[in-house]
Amino acid sequence: MTVRHLEQLFNPRVVALLGPAEPCNSVAAAIANGITRAPFKGRLLVAEDTIEAIESLAEGPDLAVLNGDLDRAPGLIEALGKRGCRAVLAVGVPPEDPGVIQAMLDAARPFRLRIVGPGAFNLAVPSIGLQAVVSPVMPPPGRLAFVTHSNGILDTLIDWAAGHGIGVSRAVSLGAKCDVDLADVLDWLALDPVTGAIILYIEDVTRPRKFMSALRAAARVKPVVVLKSGRHNPPPAVTGTVVHRMAPSDAIYDAVFARAGCVRVEAIEELFDAAATLGFPGATMGDRIAVLANGYGAGLMAADHLLDRGARLAELSSETLAALAAVPGLKSDLNPIDLGPDTPPERYAQAVPILAADRGIDGLLVIHTPSAVSAALPAVAEIVGGFGTRRHPRLITCFMGETEARAARAALRGAGVPTFSTPRQAVRAVMHMVEYRRNQELLAETPASIPADFSVDSAAVAAEIESHRAAGREWVHGPAALRLIAAYGFHTNTPRFAATPREAEEQARAIAGPVALKIATLDPIDRKSVGGISLGLDEPEDVRRAAELMLRRVAQRAPQARVEGFTVEPMVARPDGHELIVGLVEDAEFGPAVVFGHGGSAAEVIGDRSIALPPLNLALARHAIGRTRVSALLAKGPSRPAVDQRAVELALMRVAQLAIDHPEVVELEINPMIADPAGLIVLDARLRLAEPRLPGSRRLAIRPYPKALEGEVVDEAGDRYIIRPIRPEDERSLIAGFGAVSPEHTRLRFFAPMKELSHAFAAKLTQIDYDREMAFVLVGDGPPGEAEWFGTGRLVADADGERAEYAILVRSDRIGRGLGRFLMERLITYGRERGLTEIYGEVLRENRTMLTLAAELGFEAEAIPGEPDIVHVTLHL
C-alpha cells in the first residue's frame, strides 16, 4: 500500500501534456482538447512526446499526461523522472508487447514516479480546473470522488454529475493498473479532506489483501458505494461439493463488501441515486423515516418501498401529533402523513418544521406530486424555508413529474437538498445512507468474550493431514473427516467402518438401534445421488441387504468410484433440530471463505446461504448467520424453542480458525449439522487437501490475529503479565481499565483530559487491521474480554508502510515498574521486523518521563514550529 506522490497526481501545480501535434485518434484528441480548454489553475506545458521536448520543458512537471503512442513510454518516463516529475497518466491503450509495461515500471522505479494506466483516459479535479477526460463537460467542485476501472462508466458519471449539479472532488479511471491501483487511490481519498464520499465501479481486483485493507480503512471514515460488474463471470461451478457450488465468485465479493462496511449497489441507476445523496454533507442516518406527501398514493408507495428495504416508519411523538392536528386540511396524521392533493405550498411550511423537531425521526422524505393547487417551485421554497439549516433529521425530497418538477429539482439541488423523481428512487437513496450507518454500527459492535473452552487441537489435525497427504489422498471422508473436525471442537456422530455387507450387519447389531448406512469411498462422489446412503434401518439384516444393494447401485451409477466399504452410525433423533451446512471454500482472489446456510439434501436447491471471510469473532459470526433465512428458524418461535445460538456462532469461528491454521485444507463441507436447544451434532463431513495457493496467512484477504506475537513479561515488582496483540474482544477490559488511569496521565497521553473511553473510540482502538497497525496489550490471566488490562503500546503505520507513529498508555497504579520501557522496546522490535524505516511520536514537553525514555532508546527530539508545548521525537530504524 502506498500513496506516494498521489498528491502530485490529484493536486498538481504543473502539468505537461505530451503527445503529437496532431493526435493519433479521437480519444487522444478529446484528452488534448479537454486539458487545454479547461481553466487549469496551475501551469500547463504542451510539448511533443519526445525526450528532447521533455528536456526542453521550462520546468519539471508534477504530472505528465502521455497522450501518444506508448511504445516509446519507457524512455519518456525516464526523462520525466530526471526532470522531477512525480506522476504519469498513461492515456494510450496498453502496448501489445507486455515487456513495454515492465520497461515503464523499471524506468519509473529509480525516481519513485507513479504511473496511472496504461489505458487511463480520465482524470478530473474540478476544484483546480484539471480535466484530462474524454467527456466534454466538467462537473462543479464538490465532495464526491469517482474511481472506476472503466473509462466509459467514468465519462457517464461525470456527465451525469455535471447535468445534475452534483459536485465532484476527484474522478479517475485506472486503466490497466500497472502501478497505481484501486487500493492506492482508496488510501489517498480516505485522508483527502475535500472528499466526503467515494463511488467505485470495479471489474476485478489485482491484489486482494491490499485492496481489502484499503477498502476497510476508507469505509471506516467515509461512505463507500460500490458497483461491481461481471457478477456471472466466471460462471458458477457445476461440479465439486455443495458448499463449493454455493459460493460463486460474486457471493465472495458480497462478503468482501459486507466485511469492509461499504454499500454495494446492483445497477448504474442505483449508483446515481447514491451519488445524488452522498454528494451533500451528512451521509448517514438511522432507519426511522417519516413520509410527508401531498397525495396518499405517493406516500403509501414510499412507505411500501421503505418497509420492503428494511427501514421503519417513524412513530410520531404525542407533541408532533398534537402540532400536526393544528395544520389545516390535513388528511391523515398517520405516517405516511397526507397533506391532501389540494394543499397549497404554504402547508408544507407548516408541517415540515413540526416533523423536523421530532427527535424520533431520523429522516424526513417529502413528496410532491403535480398539482394545479400546489405549484412545484413555490413548494420548494416553503419546504426549504420550513426545514431551515437543520442537520437532523436528514431531508430528502421527491418531486414527481417532469414539466414543473424538473425546475423544482434543480432548485433543490442548488439549495443542497437531495431530490429524486420517483418514490422508489428516493427510497433507494435513503437506504444507502441507512445501510452505511448500519454497516458501521455492526463493524463497531463489541464481540462477546471468546469462551474459555474454545480450544482446538491444531497439532493433531496437522499430523493427520500430513498422513493423508503422504498417502496421496486428496479427499478425506467419513470417520477420518469427522475426527479432524472433532479436534476443532465439533460434536460428531460416531460412525463404524465395515469392509463388507456382513460386517455392516454386525456393526448394526452392536449399535442396537436404527442406523444410517453410507458407502465409504475416497472419491468425491455425491453419495446420495448414486444411491450410497440409506437411512433409518432398524434391523441388522436390513443393513446387510441394503449394503448389497448399495454396492450394485454405486457400481452402475459411479463405476469410477473406489469403494472401500461402508460406515454404519446411529440415527440421530433431534425433534427440535434444524439441518445446517457450514463449510470452507478457497476463492481464487480472496482466499478462504466460510459458508453457512440451510443444510441437508436440499441445501443447494434452497440456496439459502451467507459467506464470511476469516478471521471471525462471535459478533461477525452472528451477523453472517443473521443474513440467512434459516436464522429465523433458529430463533424462538410460537411453536418451537430456540436453538443454541452460541454453539452455531462458535461453529463458524471453528471453521474460520481451521482455515487459518491449515492452509492445506482448501475445501470443507459439514452437512448436515443438526442444531437444537442442546447444541450441535455433525452427521457428515468431507474435506479436500491440496498445496496452498500462498503460504501461511498470506492467502487470507484479512490478516488474522498474529498469535505468534504472544508472550509473557514480569515487571520490576515481580508481577507477571501476558503481552499479546490487541483483539476486538478487549474493548470491555480497556474501558474498565481506563478508569484506573489518572486524569493527569490521560492528559499526557491524549493531550486533553478524558474521563472515560466511549464505545466508538474504544472500538476503534481494539478493532484494528494488523496489516496496518499493531497494538500490544498487557493483561492478566483470562480470555479476551475478561482479562484485566494494564497497558497498551501502539504503532500506526502510514499508507506507505514506511513510517509509524507510536503511543504508550500504562495504568496509573503500574507506572514506575518498567512497563512503559518494555512496551516501547517491543514496538521498536516489531517495527524492525515489519521493515519500518522510522518510528515517531509527539510528546508534551512537560512529559519528562517519556522524553527521557525516548532519549535513552535513541530517539532524536526536535521542536515543532508553532507548537511550543510539543516535542517531535524520531527513531530511525
Q: Pick the range with the lowest mean pLDDT from 225-234, 615-624, 716-725.
A: 225-234
Spatial CA neighbour of 255 closest among 700, 707, 680:
700
Examine residue 819 and state whether it is found in any structural domain, yes or no: yes
Residue 622 has pLDDT above 70, yes or no: yes
| pLDDT tier for residue 184 given thresholds of 50, 70 and 90 | very high
| pLDDT tier for residue 226 given thresholds of 50, 70 and 90 | very high
Q: What is the CATH number of the domain that holds 521?
A: 3.30.1490.20
Spatial CA neighbour of 296 closest among 259, 328, 341, 255:
341
Q: What pLDDT, on the 0 to 100 scale, is given for residue 451?
A: 76
Strand order in the sheet with 515-521: 496-498, 563-570, 515-521, 533-537
Beta strands in 1-132 (DSSP E): 14-18, 43-47, 63-66, 87-90, 114-116, 123-125, 130-132
- Those residues whose C-beta lies under 8 Å from the C-beta of residue 250, and which sit 6 or more positions away, are 228, 230, 231, 232
Q: Which residue has the cell 452534483?
A: 166
pLDDT (average), residues 850-865: 93
Query: Cell digits for 571?
Result: 440415527
Pick 444 or 222 by higher pLDDT. 222
| pLDDT tier for residue 239 given thresholds of 50, 70 and 90 | low
Q: What is the DSSP string of 245-287?
A: HT--HHHHHHHHHHHHT-EEESSHHHHHHHHHHHTSS-----S
DSSP designation for 492: B
Q: What pLDDT, on the 0 to 100 scale, is given for residue 343?
A: 87
Q: What pLDDT, on the 0 to 100 scale, is given for residue 265?
A: 92
Q: What pLDDT, on the 0 to 100 scale, is given for residue 282?
A: 67
pLDDT digits (tens, 9 = 90+) for 758-775: 888 888 899 999 988 999
**Do residues 754 and 615 share a domain?**
no
Query: Cell digits for 759?
Result: 464505545
Question: Among 221, 248, 278, which residue terminates a domain?
Answer: 278
**Do residues 262 and 338 share a domain?**
no
Distance, CA of 699 to CA of 691 (rounded, Å) = 12
Burial of 177 (0-12, 13-18, 19+ CB in 10 A): buried
Spatial CA neighbour of 526 closest among 604, 586, 455:
604
Kindly report the pTM of this predicted structure: 0.89
SS3 of residue 157 by DSSP: helix
Residue 1 has pLDDT above 70, yes or no: no
SS3 of residue 66 by DSSP: strand
Q: What pLDDT, on the 0 to 100 scale, is given for residue 761?
A: 87
Beta strands in 261-386 (DSSP E): 263-265, 288-293, 312-313, 337-338, 363-368
Distance, CA of 40 to CA of 416 (rounded, Å) = 26
Examine residue 158 and state whether it is found in any structural domain, yes or no: yes
Distance, CA of 661 to CA of 655 (rounded, Å) = 10
Examine residue 133 and state whether it is found in any structural domain, yes or no: yes
Examine residue 1 and state whether it is found in any structural domain, yes or no: no
**Do residues 542 and 606 share a domain?**
no
Q: What angle do CA 619, 694, 649 make, to 5 degrees?
A: 15
pLDDT (average), residues 220-224: 90
Spatial CA neighbour of 114 closest among 12, 40, 31, 189:
12
Distance, CA of 146 to CA of 271 (rounded, Å) = 11
Spatial CA neighbour of 70 closest among 147, 178, 172:
178
Q: Which residue has the cell 460500490?
A: 226
Query: Cell digits for 681?
Result: 451434532
pLDDT (average), residues 609-625: 93
Query: Cell digits for 214?
Result: 484499503
Distance, CA of 354 to CA of 351 (rounded, Å) = 5
Q: What pLDDT, on the 0 to 100 scale, is given for residue 837?
A: 94
**Do residues 468 and 321 share a domain?**
no
Examine residue 231 and state whether it is found in any structural domain, yes or no: yes
Residue 281 has pLDDT above 80, yes or no: no
Residue 591 has pLDDT above 70, yes or no: yes
pLDDT digits (tens, 9 = 90+) for 806-830: 999 999 999 999 999 999 999 999 9
β-pairing, 394-399 vs 419-420, is parallel
Beta strands in 360-434 (DSSP E): 363-368, 394-399, 419-420
Burial of 661 (0-12, 13-18, 19+ CB in 10 A): middle
Distance, CA of 223 to CA of 273 (rounded, Å) = 14
Residue 537 has pLDDT above 90, yes or no: yes
Pick 545 or 2 by higher pLDDT. 545
Question: Among 513, 531, 560, which residue terminates a domain?
Answer: 560
Query: Cell digits for 559?
Result: 463405476
SS3 of residue 513 by DSSP: coil
Examine residue 50 and state whether it is found in any structural domain, yes or no: yes
Distance, CA of 272 to CA of 425 (rounded, Å) = 10
Question: Among 638, 673, 704, which residue terminates a domain?
Answer: 704
Beta strands in 241-368 (DSSP E): 263-265, 288-293, 312-313, 337-338, 363-368
Query: Cβ distance 634 to 640 under 8 Å?
Result: no
Distance, CA of 84 to CA of 280 (rounded, Å) = 38
Beta strands in 215-373 (DSSP E): 224-228, 263-265, 288-293, 312-313, 337-338, 363-368
- Those residues whose C-beta lies under 8 Å from the C-beta of residue 617, and which sit 6 or more positions away, are 447, 450, 653, 727, 728, 729
SS3 of residue 780 by DSSP: coil
CA atoms within 13 A on the CB side of 202: 24
**Do residues 321 and 432 share a domain?**
yes
Spatial CA neighbour of 817 closest among 722, 724, 718:
718
Q: What is the CATH number of the domain that holds 625?
A: 3.30.470.20
| pLDDT tier for residue 616 given thresholds of 50, 70 and 90 | very high
Q: What pLDDT, on the 0 to 100 scale, is given for residue 165?
A: 84
Q: Which residue has the cell 462471535?
A: 618
Mean per-residue pLDDT over the chain, rounded = 90
Residue 364 has pLDDT above 90, yes or no: yes
Q: Which residue has the cell 461402508?
A: 566
Radius of gyration of the chain (CA): 31
Q: What is the CATH number of the domain that holds 439?
A: 3.40.50.261
Query: Cβ distance 735 to 762 under 8 Å?
Result: yes
Q: What pLDDT, on the 0 to 100 scale, is given for residue 785?
A: 83
DSSP designation for 708: G
Examine residue 283 and state whether it is found in any structural domain, yes or no: no
| pLDDT tier for residue 29 given thresholds of 50, 70 and 90 | confident
Residue 650 has pLDDT above 80, yes or no: yes
β-pairing, 141-148 vs 168-173, is parallel
Query: Cβ distance 211 to 552 under 8 Å?
Result: no
**Do residues 436 and 456 share a domain?**
no
Examine residue 757 and state whether it is found in any structural domain, yes or no: yes
Spatial CA neighbour of 611 closest among 623, 595, 600:
595
Q: What is the CATH number of the domain that holds 794?
A: 3.40.630.30
Query: Cell digits for 362?
Result: 431520523
Q: What pLDDT, on the 0 to 100 scale, is given for residue 236?
A: 66
Q: Pick the range with the lowest mean pLDDT from 123-127, 177-181, 477-481.
A: 477-481
pLDDT digits (tens, 9 = 90+) for 690-699: 998 888 888 9
Number of domains in the chain: 5
**Do residues 350 and 423 share a domain?**
yes
DSSP designation for 552: H
| pLDDT tier for residue 648 given thresholds of 50, 70 and 90 | very high
**Do residues 806 and 691 share a domain?**
no
Percent of the chain with pLDDT over 70: 98
Cis-peptide, bond into residue 20, ω within 30° of zero: no
**Do residues 208 and 350 share a domain?**
no
Q: What angle do CA 439, 143, 190 make, to 5 degrees?
A: 55
Distance, CA of 40 to CA of 13 (rounded, Å) = 9
Burial of 691 (0-12, 13-18, 19+ CB in 10 A): exposed
pLDDT (average), residues 674-689: 93
Q: Pick the range with the lowest mean pLDDT from 342-346, 453-457, 662-666.
A: 453-457
Q: What pLDDT, on the 0 to 100 scale, is given for residue 237?
A: 64
Percent of the chain with pLDDT over 90: 63
pLDDT (average), residues 298-303: 95
Distance, CA of 454 to CA of 764 (rounded, Å) = 25
Query: Cβ distance 609 to 594 under 8 Å?
Result: no
**Do residues 626 and 721 share a domain?**
no
From the centroid of its chain, how far is CA 457? 31
Residue 2 has pLDDT above 80, yes or no: no
Distances 113 to 7, 44, 49, 80, 291 between C-alpha atoms, Å: 12, 19, 17, 9, 53
Spatial CA neighbour of 136 closest among 156, 117, 153:
156
Q: Which residue has the cell 484494528?
A: 768
Distances 786 to 450, 714, 733, 734, 777 between C-alpha atoms, Å: 9, 20, 6, 10, 13
Q: What pLDDT, on the 0 to 100 scale, is given for residue 7?
A: 95
Q: Which domain holds residue 211?
A: 6-278
Q: Side chain identity at 693, as an amino acid letter?
A: R
**Do residues 403 and 511 share a domain?**
no
β-pairing, 867-876 vs 838-844, is antiparallel
**Do residues 238 and 384 share a domain?**
no
Query: Cβ distance 770 to 747 under 8 Å?
Result: no
Q: Side chain identity at 634, as an amino acid letter?
A: L
DSSP designation for 95: P
Count CB-CB contacts under 10 A for residue 140.
12
pLDDT (average), residues 263-270: 90
